[in-house]
Amino acid sequence: MQIPMSAPDITQAEIEAVMEVLCTPHLSLGPRVTQFEEAFAAYVGAKYAVAVNSGTSGLHLAVIAAGIGAGDEVITPSFSFIASANCVLYERATPVFVDIDPLTGNMDPALVEAAISQRTKAIIVVHAFGQPADIDPILAIARKHHLVVIEDACEALGAQYKGRQVGTLADVAVFAFYPNKQMTTGEGGMIVTDNAEWAALFRSLRNQGRDVFNAWLNHTRLGYNYRMDEMSAALGLAQLRRIDELLARRDAVAALYNDQLATIPGVDRPYIAETTTRMSWFVYVIRLPNGPTRDYLMAYLQEQGIPSRPYFTPIHLQPFYQQTFFRGRGDLVYSEMAGETCLAIPFSGVMQPEEIDYVCEHLRAGLERASESLWPAPRARINSLR
């Protein structure tokens, strides 16, 4: 059996929505983007939503709106996808990494205040794997020190923190719609905020710096081509109409994994915090705490047609960051431990029960073989999976 790492949940409704756009003269800068923005803002509960071509672009524009520039510092976790730190570097500021809660994998609020300096301008809070970070104490610290708070909600559409919707918890939030996300536009992202001035700025910056009153080739400020096209917006609209179904399907797959993995020794299942009213399953990440078995397990699973991925390599250990900031191991203990023990296994809303059975059967077999020291050395091809 060959199982994909992830797969989008696409129906005839999405196909027809995109085909309708292709039969119009508006493939960009048309009505679908506006419709998608309005529907998304209503779903999240924000006043404004601005569509962009990726979550990374959205984070970049949020950093600009926050007034972050050369010499400033932004506090953020290292255990994250690299975009949550790169967006700071784009504006020549410096990301300051704090460690994570070892159970949730999210930023530890208790470590934030000590990381603040006179140059700190903002905090980027990441909701890792679809679980909301414990943001209330972070917001309290931010207000005390007059800092902007940006939610990186790229992995957490539909999640709820203490009954409140992710995306409405801070000054601005960013979502992403890559094909492995809860809903997809192929490539794409969305910025949400209640700040009217920022929303207008985002619309200008994504469109080469044009303002609404500018003539076509007049540009008020330095901008970017971060626009979302009409086909992507049409796909997003169709997916958003199904969002409750899409989230429920992922809930069901996660529940099946939770049940089966409970009986497999050597596997820690995802931990759900008390503050998480609703988990929004982006990926399904297990931990392998009992020794250096991950590479062996990945090799075994690959031979059975089951892909898996280490999730994440902490940002401060990425080659570019080590070369730029001279960071090494030992600075962020729990982030590094998570980077060494976490493993993402196949997950999507379209996974079938027999596929979940197959994955769990071979997870058990692989771990048993590892514990019995029956495996050969990991094959070189494992390096290509990282």
CB atoms within 10 A of CB 350: 15
144 counts as catalytic: no
Rounded CA-CA distance 21/30 in Å is 9
Catalytic residue among 47, 144, 162, 181: 181
Please return the burial class of 143, using the count of CB atoms within 10 Å of its CB with bins 0-12, 13-18 and 19+: exposed
User: What is each CA distance from 357 to 13, 78, 361, in whole angstroms?
Assistant: 30, 33, 6
Q: Which tokens sit at 157?
A: 């559409």
Burial call 279-310: b when 16+ CB within 10 Å, e when fewer: bbbbbbbbbbeeeebbbbbbbbbbebebbbbb
CB 36 within 8 A of CB 233: yes
Q: Order the strands of the 148-152 sheet from edge to edge.
A: 48-52, 189-193, 172-176, 148-152, 120-126, 73-77, 94-98
User: What's the per-residue H, E or C state across 289-307?
Assistant: CCCCCHHHHHHHHHHCCCC
What are residue 247's phi and psi, to 5 degrees? -70, -40
Catalytic residue ranges:
181
